[in-house]
């Protein structure tokens, strides 16, 4: 039986950007990624318990704003996230986000958290988790196409979870490659800068595509990719935004998070509904095979799904509960008589609150 502690529910935990950075410094980014993968796998194993639907998306000429809700009937979460590729031209980030974890029984929020950093971590952890089941065994070399804000997180997660030690990187913006190389200089990785997408995939056992333009692009063509490779395709994540040639998809076994959402937003939006894909919870649970032979070409068509945000928020909430103190927000009213909300507006009540607050 899920019980409610009224005292705790009146305090909403708050995780600011500074708090998230302090948490990562305390735990270590690699250890954080390992713990996050554990939470992701736990929740993928409970797939049927969750509410599932394609995310709400408000599209504009310059980008998209999305809400991503889900619940396991004990806790509810949602994430607000945007995607505006043009933002970097005016000194703003392409993606920003925040999220809420709430108690289902009472409806009270438990935690409000930054999710710009956390989304990058959960996307990287999800990619690496999927690759555990789909990538060639003992893979050591990864190609990274697109060296934006996600790239270092992706590379570090593949190092921690799969043991990747050589990374070939390519971006049309050389300064982005140099940024990635510098950020990963002390991570025990061999970073190789390449001059083209054709060059970067040579010898790579895993290929990650993570580009930002909101358009139907062809970053990888079928002739560029050998059999036996795993492709982690995470840049095609909204309608009209793709990275892989349709012919490449047709050669491969394609795995997705939640098929109804990926049909709308992923690279498989190029194909009709008769094209067969496998939802990854079936692989993680052991109902379906992931990689089953050496020459198999596998693709994870990742768009990001609400259950992954739920896992990330649940993980952070458990971590901050272990701390002796963490920030609290006065986000909710807490009057003595729950039915007397108007009473908070009276001068006497306001004076009492000011004295108590002092």
Same domain, 100 and 173: no
- What confidence tens digit (pLDDT) does each residue in 26-79 have? 999 999 999 999 999 999 999 999 999 999 999 999 899 999 999 999 999 999
pLDDT for 130-189, tens place per residue? 999 999 999 999 999 999 999 999 999 999 999 999 999 999 999 999 999 999 999 999
H helices, E strands: number in the chain: 12, 17
Rounded distance between C-alpha atoms, residue 129 and residue 150, angstroms? 16
CB 142 within 8 A of CB 169: no
Identify the domain containing residue 29 by its residue range: 6-117+308-357
Tell me how many domains the chain contains.
2
> For residue 1, is it within any domain?
no
Residues 323, 227 within the same domain = no
Domain identity same for 84 and 145: no
Q: What is the pLDDT of residues 275-303, one digit of tens each?
A: 999 999 999 999 999 999 999 999 999 99
Q: What is the pLDDT of residue 355?
A: 47
Say if 264 falls within a structural domain: yes
pTM of the model: 0.92
Residue closest to 232 by CA, chosen among 219, 223, 217, 215: 219
Tell whether the model's pLDDT for residue 115 goes beyond 60: yes
DSSP β-bridge partners for residue 99: 79, 113
- Same domain flag for 25 and 63: yes
Q: Read off the pLDDT of residues 217-263 as tens digits, 9 standing for 90 and up.
A: 789 999 999 999 999 999 877 788 899 999 999 999 999 999 999 99
224 compared with 327, residue with greater pLDDT: 224
pLDDT score for 305:
97
Highest mean pLDDT among 7-16, 32-41, 317-326: 32-41
Q: Any idea what the CATH number is for the domain that residue 99 is in?
A: 3.30.1780.10
Domain assignment present for residue 122? The answer is no
How sure is the predictor about 214, in pLDDT bands with cuts at 50, 70 and 90?
low
209-218, 312-321, 348-357: which is most confident: 312-321
Residue 350, pLDDT score = 61
Are residues 107 and 149 part of one domain? no
Task: Tell whether 112 and 143 lie within a shared domain.
Answer: no
Comparison of pLDDT for 241 and 15, the residue scoring more: 15
pLDDT band, residue 17 (cuts 50/70/90): very high
Query: Which pLDDT belongs to residue 356?
Result: 47
Q: How far is CA 250 from CA 127, 270, 272, 277, in A?
A: 21, 11, 11, 11
CA–CA gap between residue 127 and residue 108 (Å, rounded): 32
Please check whether residue 209 lies inside any domain of the structure. Answer: yes
Instruction: Kindly list the catalytic residues.
Output: 237
Through-space distance between the first and last CA atoms of the chain, rounded to whole angstroms = 39
Residue 218: the pLDDT is 87
Q: Which residues contact 22 (CB under 8 A, 6 or more apart)?
A: none
| Percent residues over pLDDT 90 in the chain | 83
Residues 261 and 345 in one domain: no
Same domain, 318 and 299: no
- Residue 149 is assigned to a structural domain of this protein: yes
* Residues 294 and 347 reside in one and the same domain: no
Residue 357: per-residue pLDDT? 46
Instruction: Report the pLDDT averaged over residues 313-336.
Output: 89
CATH value at residue 205: 3.40.50.720
């Amino acid at each position: 039986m899920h019980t409610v502690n009224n005292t705790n529910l009146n305090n909403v935990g708050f995780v600011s950007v500074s708090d998230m950075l302090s948490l990562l410094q305390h735990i270590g980014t690699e250890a954080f990624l390992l713990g996050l993968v554990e939470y992701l796998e736990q929740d993928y194993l409970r797939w049927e318990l969750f509410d599932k639907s394609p995310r709400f998306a408000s599209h504009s000429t310059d980008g998209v704003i999305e809400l991503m809700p889900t619940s396991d009937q004990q806790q509810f979460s949602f994430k607000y996230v945007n995607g505006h590729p043009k933002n970097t031209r005016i000194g703003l980030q392409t993606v920003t986000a925040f999220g809420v974890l709430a108690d289902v029984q009472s409806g009270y929020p438990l935690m409000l958290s930054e999710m710009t950093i956390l989304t990058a971590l959960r996307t990287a952890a999800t990619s690496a988790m999927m690759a555990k089941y789909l990538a060639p065994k003992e893979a050591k070399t990864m190609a990274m196409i697109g060296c934006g804000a996600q790239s270092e997180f992706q590379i570090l997660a593949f190092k921690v979870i799969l043991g990747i030690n050589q990374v070939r990187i390519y971006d049309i913006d050389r300064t982005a490659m140099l940024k990635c190389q510098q950020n990963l200089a002390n991570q025990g990785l061999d970073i190789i800068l390449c001059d083209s997408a054709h060059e970067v995939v040579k010898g790579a056992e895993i290929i990650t595509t993570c580009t930002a333009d909101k358009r139907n692009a062809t970053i990888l063509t079928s002739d560029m990719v050998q059999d036996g490779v795993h492709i982690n395709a995470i840049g095609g994540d909204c309608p009209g935004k793709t990275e892989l040639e349709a012919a490449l998809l047709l050669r491969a076994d394609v795995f997705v998070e939640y098929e109804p959402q990926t049909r709308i937003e992923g690279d498989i939006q190029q194909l009709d509904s008769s094209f067969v894909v496998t939802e990854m919870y079936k692989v993680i649970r052991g109902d379906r095979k992931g990689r089953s032979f050496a020459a198999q070409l596998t693709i994870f068509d990742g768009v990001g799904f609400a259950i992954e945000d739920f896992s990330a928020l649940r993980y952070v909430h458990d971590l901050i509960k272990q701390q002796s103190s963490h920030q609290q927000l006065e986000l909710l009213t807490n009057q003595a008589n729950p039915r007397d909300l108007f009473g908070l507006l009276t001068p006497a009540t306001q004076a009492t609150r000011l004295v108590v607050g002092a």
